[in-house]
Amino acid sequence: MEKLWFVRGGQVDYSFAHRLQLNLREKVERENIPGFFLLMEHPPVFTLGRGASRSHLLVDESILEKEGIKVYEIERGGDITYHGSGQIVGYPIINLDFWERDVHLFLRALEEVLIHFLKRFEVEGFRLPPYTGVWVNKEIPQKIAAIGVAVKKWITYHGFALNISTFLPHFNYIIPCGISDKGVTSLERITGNSYSLEEREEMEELLAQDLGEVLGFKMEEISRDDFFLGRERRLEI
């Protein structure tokens, strides 16, 4: 079984996380290794994927500037989405030569990871074709996790955003994922429980376990300090 390194990065500025993904994707290609799985949170930002319409950003950027919310246009698939504190963002940077060269299958696998995770909290997540992502409440579907990836030379980057204790009113500033007739929710809203930063970091470890189970990798953690100090270069990977 191939080894996949994962890192729980804490709260990280989005622009730094984006550069980190690009650098790690190059490392995976250069060294022909299975890859990495980054788990982190971001200060409030909106990101627009390759298929995004700027009209799906519903507020003037002067309002966003006043609130300190940045906007990034990036290379992942999909439309506009939101990242903020209380949301776990997962970036699987995976060499599909060590798995399957099938991007659609990879998207379905990420959905399965999130569905497995939600089962731990007795929440039924499901797919809602033709949309990508994970939903809850079959009577009135609401999205709890958005997914959007990019692939270059069969190495994935970008990933998913899972709402745990996310500040949901910020989603009112956009048409999330370009879907105007469906709502957004969070694990906190569903269960009625609040989740501390420490609890969310424990959840990140569970997500890494679920990713390993679904994709068939042996997961091994790099400590946050070692990773951000660059010591991963000396690890046997």
Residues 135, 128 contacting (CB under 8 angstroms)? yes
For the segment 172-193, the average pLDDT, to the nearest whole number, is 93
Rounded to an integer, the average pLDDT of 70-94 is: 94
pLDDT band for position 90 (50/70/90)? very high
pLDDT at 236: 42
Share of the chain above pLDDT 70, in %: 96
Q: pTM to 2 decimals?
A: 0.94
Give the mean pLDDT of 39-65.
Answer: 92
C-alpha distances (whole Å) from 180 to each of 56, 82, 183, 222 are: 9, 15, 8, 40
What residue ranges define each of the domains in the chain, with the CATH number in brackets? 3-234 (3.30.930.10)
Tell me, what's the pLDDT at 226? Answer: 78
| pLDDT tops 60 at residue 217 | yes
Mean pLDDT within 133-143: 96
Positions marked catalytic = 177
Over range 110-131, report the average pLDDT. 97
